Structures are given as structure tokens and as C-alpha cells.
């Protein structure tokens, strides 16, 4: 049940058609992992905290560097040298002390993800390398936890909601080849701060839609954006036959 203070705090979204008090209570009862607290994870985590998601689990093994501050909004100059998950937790608590925050100041491998996912309702994949994305994909399939995935570099971004339990594609269905160990790097290719901000905000939006039931999430679709031209494409994506992770078919 929501307190009077919570009803007042979340009044603007409770007023939305399809959201109501029931949607807010579903958010309050949710437990969500934000994997990576950089350019994507920062806005995503802040918006989820602002919306009243009950428990946020924050995982990142990196420390804040000066070059991060151009786009990673959870962190300030005073946080340089601090673990990103710990820095993000402080920013979240400052915004909404009613959200429970669990900090994992480490990189998560497949075994760690396998132990963590059974207690989660949703994962936001805000990581920046393929090995982690594929490990998360296998763990999420094994434990039937949906994933909101995003990536951004230069002026381009993409977002997808992966929920194979409902019949949609998994991450490997969309990207069957592992490729290089690390996805196209912002440090090598550059990125505009608002680009990752938009992608991370869309991750939070899709998470809120999925958890609250207020609108239909972006299932079975890949949203591709070129923010330099404001060209948006929404591609229907199906399961890949013979997928090495989910089996496809």
C-alpha cells in the first residue's frame, strides 16, 4: 500500500490513464538490476528512482574518471576515483531516499548473474561489451527475466526489450556473432552526451511500461536512432532459427 507521502510524490504519473495506483504499487514492489552505471545507466537509474521503483540493484566495477563527466549524469567531479555503482547509489538516495539501493561494486560474470537474477523482475543492460551482454543473455534465458537493452556511440543509439519467455528474440538472435571482445568504444569513436542520455531514458521508459503495465513495451522490436538527423527506425525482430542461446525456431 502507498503512503500519503508516496501518493503525493508520484501523483503526476498516477494520474496517467492506464497507470493509476495499481501501476505505482507494481513499481514499488519491483526489484531491478541496472548493469553498468555509465552513460546509459546513469539516466536510466535516476529515472527509475524518480518513478519509485522499489529496489534498484546497481552493478559496476569501474571508477569514475574525468572523461565520464561529459555524459554520465550520476557522477560529479567530487566522485572521480570512486566506484561508479557507489557514486550512482549516492545520487539516487539524494533524489529519492524511499528507494532501496543495493550496491555491487564489481563486474558481474555469468556465474554471478546466475545467482542474482532469480530475485529480480527486470534487468537494464547498460553494459558496454559483448561478453557481458552474452553472459546476461544466457542467464536471463535460464531464469526467465526480461532485459531492456541499449547501446550508443557517436550520434547513434538503439533500444530493445528482450523477453524470449513471451516468444520474442533474445540478444543473440539479434547479434549471433560475438565479434570483438568489446563493443564499439566511445573512447575510440566518440559520443555526444545527449545521445546516451536519450537511450538510457528510453530504457527507463520501457522498464516503467513493462513493470507498471501502463503501456505496451517495445517487445519484438529494435528501435534504431540516428540523433544527428533525428531519423528513427523501428524494426520488427523475430527469433533466429537455431539460435545458440535460445534455440530459436
- Residue 181's pLDDT is 43
In-domain check, residue 248: no
Q: What is the edge-to-edge ordering of all strands in the sheet holding 221-226? A: 100-104, 55-59, 31-35, 122-125, 147-153, 156-162, 221-226, 231-236
In-domain check, residue 249: no
H/E segment holding residue 124: strand 122-125
- Residue 180's pLDDT is 47
In-domain check, residue 241: no
- Residue 182's pLDDT is 42
Domain that holds residue 146: 4-236
- Residue 137's pLDDT is 96
For residues 135 and 116, the answer to whether their CB atoms sit within 8 Å is no
Helices (H) and strands (E) in the chain, counts: 10, 8
In-domain check, residue 109: yes
What's the domain count of the chain? Answer: 1
Q: Is the dihedral of CA 85, 87, 89, 95 positive or negative?
A: negative
- 181's CB contacts (< 8 A; 6+ apart) are 129, 130, 131
In-domain check, residue 121: yes
- Residue 179's pLDDT is 54
pTM: 0.95
- Residue 128's pLDDT is 86
- Residue 189's pLDDT is 76
Please choose, from the candidates 160, 126, 133, the residue with its C-alpha nearest in 3D space to the C-alpha of residue 46: 126
Cα–chain center distance at 222:
15
In-domain check, residue 54: yes
The angle subtended at Cα 36 by Cα 240 and Cα 165, nearest 5°, is: 30
Per-residue pLDDT of the chain (249 residues; tens, 9 = 90+): 899 999 999 999 999 999 999 999 999 999 999 999 999 999 999 999 999 999 999 999 999 999 999 999 999 999 999 999 999 999 999 999 999 999 999 999 999 999 999 999 999 999 988 899 999 999 999 999 999 999 999 999 999 999 988 889 999 999 988 654 445 566 667 899 999 999 999 999 999 999 999 999 999 999 999 999 999 999 999 999 999 999 876
In-domain check, residue 242: no
Alpha-carbon gap, residue 29 to 50, rounded angstroms:
15
Which CATH number fits the domain that encloses residue 24? 3.40.50.720
In-domain check, residue 167: yes
- Residue 188's pLDDT is 66
- Residue 167's pLDDT is 86
- Residue 203's pLDDT is 98
Amino acid at each position: 500500500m502507498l503512503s500519503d507521502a508516496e501518493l503525493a510524490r508520484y501523483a503526476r504519473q498516477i494520474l496517467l490513464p492506464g497507470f493509476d495506483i495499481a501501476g505505482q504499487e507494481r513499481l514499488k514492489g519491483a526489484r531491478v538490476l541496472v548493469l553498468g552505471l555509465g552513460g546509459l545507466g546513469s539516466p536510466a537509474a535516476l529515472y527509475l528512482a524518480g518513478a519509485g521503483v522499489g529496489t534498484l540493484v546497481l552493478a559496476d566495477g569501474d571508477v569514475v574518471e574525468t572523461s565520464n563527466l561529459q555524459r554520465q549524469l550520476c557522477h560529479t567531479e567530487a566522485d572521480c576515483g570512486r566506484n561508479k555503482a557507489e557514486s550512482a547509489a549516492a545520487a539516487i538516495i539524494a533524489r529519492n531516499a524511499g528507494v532501496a539501493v543495493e550496491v555491487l561494486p564489481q563486474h558481474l560474470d555469468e556465474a554471478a548473474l546466475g545467482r542474482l537474477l532469480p530475485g529480480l523482475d527486470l534487468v537494464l543492460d547498460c553494459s558496454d561489451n559483448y561478453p557481458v551482454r552474452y553472459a546476461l543473455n544466457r542467464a536471463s534465458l535460464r531464469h526467465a527475466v526480461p532485459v531492456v537493452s541499449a547501446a550508443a556511440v557517436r550520434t547513434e543509439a538503439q533500444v530493445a526489450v528482450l523477453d524470449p519467455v513471451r516468444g520474442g528474440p533474445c540478444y543473440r538472435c539479434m547479434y549471433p556473432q560475438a565479434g570483438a571482445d568489446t563493443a564499439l568504444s566511445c573512447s575510440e569513436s566518440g559520443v555526444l552526451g545527449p545521445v546516451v542520455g536519450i537511450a538510457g531514458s528510453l530504457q527507463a521508459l520501457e522498464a516503467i511500461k513493462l513493470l507498471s503495465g501502463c503501456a505496451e513495451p517495445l517487445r519484438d522490436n529494435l528501435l534504431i536512432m540516428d540523433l544527428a538527423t533525428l531519423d528513427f527506425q523501428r524494426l520488427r525482430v523475430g527469433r533466429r532459427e537455431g539460435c545458440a542461446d535460445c534455440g530459436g525456431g
